[in-house]
Structure 1
Amino acid sequence: MGVASTRTATVIGLGSMGWGAAVSLLRAGFTVRGVDIRHDVLDRFRAAGGEAYESAGQAPASEVVFVFVVNSDQANSVLFGPGGALEAAGSGTVFLLCVTMAPSVTMEIAGRLAQTGMRVIDAPVSGGHLKALSGEMTIMGSGAAEAFDLAAPALDAVASKVFRLGEEIGLGSKVKMINQLLAGVHIAATAEALTLAAKAGLDLQTVFDVISVSAGASWMFTNRGPHIVHGDYEPRSAVDIFVKDLGIVLSEAAGQGAATPLSAAALALFKDAADQGLGREDDAAVAKILAGRSGVRLPGME
């Protein structure tokens, strides 16, 4: 535990990324108010040294509020709904919107917060749950310089790279959209490659070891590949997440008149997986869909 401090932070949503941010803030000496609807998660957070609340409105006011819920509907609810964060927040509180949302929605939410006297940073994150736990996330941020300066100690606690992309809210969400395009396509490509390897009679571990140090590797291949090799589909990031995120990509691309055929193919695969009951499994579970189509059994398949 770090040196005691009067610095305060609220983290709304203690999923894999929010949990990592919350414990990283604790480690840095912050007083941290964790908000989640799951009682077992709240009990675990209390045991880790944090304050735990079922709703954001119950938590005392903090200097910074991180929002790590799943989607824009949840973000609107935890901010503006009954028991929402605005019930407790003081004027000038810095809200960090870490949710992956359509840029237009991020701008709308930020505008509503600003009208109530709050400061806002469009702050989507990347790095995975292990980077979150170690306080080494990447933040793709945009917002006023004053908000960044006020939030700097908290940002330093949770991230090793904080990109200030400009003062315009929405820039962070646009860059995150591009990241999610690549992430979703690379997961789908990883699943396709390892399914083909299995169909060709290759040893999956050997293929993974070779490709990991070859030109065909990607971060997603090296991270998600072992899930497929070992049949481990315990969710770190779920199929449903990429149905949402690639849906944002396709919608925004259509609005811009941009062609995204690879994203469309990947989204169709994730949707198929969700429709077949795999939505809450690890996103690498799209390999099961390809395996079924290919007439091959992968590790972890019944």
Structure 2
Amino acid sequence: MDDQDRQAQPRVGVVGLGAMGLGMARSLRAAGFHVGVHDLRPDVASAFAEEGGTAFTSAGELAASVDVLVGVVVNAAQVESVMFGDGNGGGGGGNDKGGAAGRLRPGSVYVMCSTADPAWSADLERRLAEFGVLYLDAPISGGAARAASGQLTMMTSGAPAAYAIADPVLEAMSGTVYRLGDEAGTGSKVKVVNQLLAGVHIAAAAEAMALGIKAGVPAEALYEVITHSAGNSWMFENRMAHVLAGDYTPLSAVDIFVKDLGLVLDAARPEKFPLPLAATAHQMFLQASASGLGGEDDSAVIKIFPGIELPGQDAGVELPGQEEV
């Protein structure tokens, strides 16, 4: 495949097949790309290969075979491991043979979709340039369902040369690609603002639902009214449906918002910018995590409120799907 063919149909790989990454990989395959994948869970990568992709045993091996590498791992530490460590997102430092940065072909593109510190993301562009690798700061929003349907929102920034190669890949994964500037870091700044709103909205939704339940309003009726009233939000409608179902299977876990709202507060601190609502929401998610709920769906933050059954507390308000003690 020559350079012109690669620009029209770049070879693409996805590292991280969680709720978002798996949907993104499937969207790419549905758009006609041959997709290579790597995940710490070999069975997940193998299952995707059975659908028509190719599984690789390390991110480094995958990187050596692609023009665009899309990283959909949890945080900056896992990006560091994938790109400069053991190549698998499992820790380690340096740049051994498994790391992806040294295996990517010069002129290829790394698309970073994690929620991360904007300053770290901007510096990652510089570090990858030392390997001749282009970089797009490209955090995502929209949830697992939109990832699976290729309708994500992507908040991107980076050099025009990186877009020239990666644009077909971005378009296949998303409904909207926002190009926010020529320098990495701006996409992550916008994602930080988005996560401030998302975290505060989930916390407020949980507080409102808990108050209504405590006051004796049937949860289903409360949900029906609020979702058709001015007080509704996307997060109330989406997350409180999990509460009604009593299903706290993590699509986005409590600990994700411990991390993300921590990033929000960290980003504001150098500016001495007050974030009272974000700080309160962060404390709510921290309380939920400290209560043993960190691995549950982020809607489980509702369980911190007085009268709602938690380990070590007396039973009070019964949430839908919970048994009365």
Q: What is the TM-score with the length of structure 1 in the denominator?
A: 0.95
- The correspondence for 2:245, drawn from 216, 225, 230, is 230
1:121 aligns with 2:124: no
**Does the 8 Å contact 1:291/1:297 carry over to 2?**
no
1:141 aligns with 2:156: yes
Whole-angstrom CA distance in 2 between matches of 1:301 and 1:119: 50
Pairing of 1:54-203 with structure 2 (within 5 A): 54-59=57-62, 60-82=64-86, 83-203=98-218
**Does the 8 Å contact 1:91/1:116 carry over to 2?**
yes
3-state SS of paired residue (1:33): strand
- The correspondence for 1:24, drawn from 3, 22, 27, is 27
List structure 1 runs of 4+ shifted beyond 4 angstroms: 291-294
Whole-angstrom CA distance in 2 between matches of 1:173 and 1:276: 30
Pairing of 1:213-228 with structure 2 (within 5 A): 213-228=228-243
Aligned length: 298
**Does the 8 Å contact 1:76/1:109 carry over to 2?**
no
**Residue 272 (structure 2) aligns with:** 257
**Does the 8 Å contact 1:102/1:252 carry over to 2?**
yes
Whole-angstrom CA distance in 2 between matches of 1:48 and 1:215: 44
Bigger-Rg structure (1/2): 2
**Residue 53 (structure 1) aligns with:** 56
**Residue 18 (structure 2) aligns with:** 15
Q: What residue ranges of structure 2 are gaps of 5+ in the alignment?
A: 1-7, 87-97, 310-315
**Does the 8 Å contact 1:288/1:301 carry over to 2?**
no
Write the deviation string for residues 99-133 of structure 1: whole angstroms up to 9, x where unpaired.
10010111122211111111111100000000000
Post-superposition shift, 1:291? 5.0
Larger mean Cα displacement after TM superposition, 106-115 or 240-249: 106-115
Whole-angstrom CA distance in 2 between matches of 1:223 and 1:54: 36
Code of the residue aligned with 1:103 in structure 2: it is P
Write the deviation string for residues 215-261 of structure 1: whole angstroms up to 9, x where unpaired.
11111111111001111101110111100000001111111111101
Post-superposition shift, 1:301? 3.6
3-state SS of paired residue (1:227): helix
Q: What residue ranges of structure 1 are gaps of 5+ in the alignment?
A: none
Post-superposition shift, 1:97? 0.8
Post-superposition shift, 1:143? 0.6
Code of the residue aligned with 2:31 in structure 1: it is A
**Residue 297 (structure 1) aligns with:** 318
Code of the residue aligned with 2:116 in structure 1: it is M
**Does the 8 Å contact 1:68/1:97 carry over to 2?**
yes
Code of the residue aligned with 1:226 in structure 2: it is A
Code of the residue aligned with 1:288 in structure 2: it is K
Write the deviation string for residues 189-211 of structure 1: whole angstroms up to 9, x where unpaired.
11111111111111111111111
Larger mean Cα displacement after TM superposition, 104-113 or 81-90: 81-90
- The correspondence for 1:209, drawn from 220, 224, 230, is 224
Code of the residue aligned with 2:264 in structure 1: it is V
Code of the residue aligned with 2:319 in structure 1: it is L
Code of the residue aligned with 1:173 in structure 2: it is S
Code of the residue aligned with 2:34 in structure 1: it is T
Identity within the alignment, %: 49
Write the deviation string for residues 119-157 of structure 1: whole angstroms up to 9, x where unpaired.
111100000000000000000000112211211111110
Whole-angstrom CA distance in 2 between matches of 1:273 and 1:49: 40
**Does the 8 Å contact 1:56/1:88 carry over to 2?**
no
Code of the residue aligned with 1:110 in structure 2: it is E
CA RMSD of aligned residues (A): 1.5
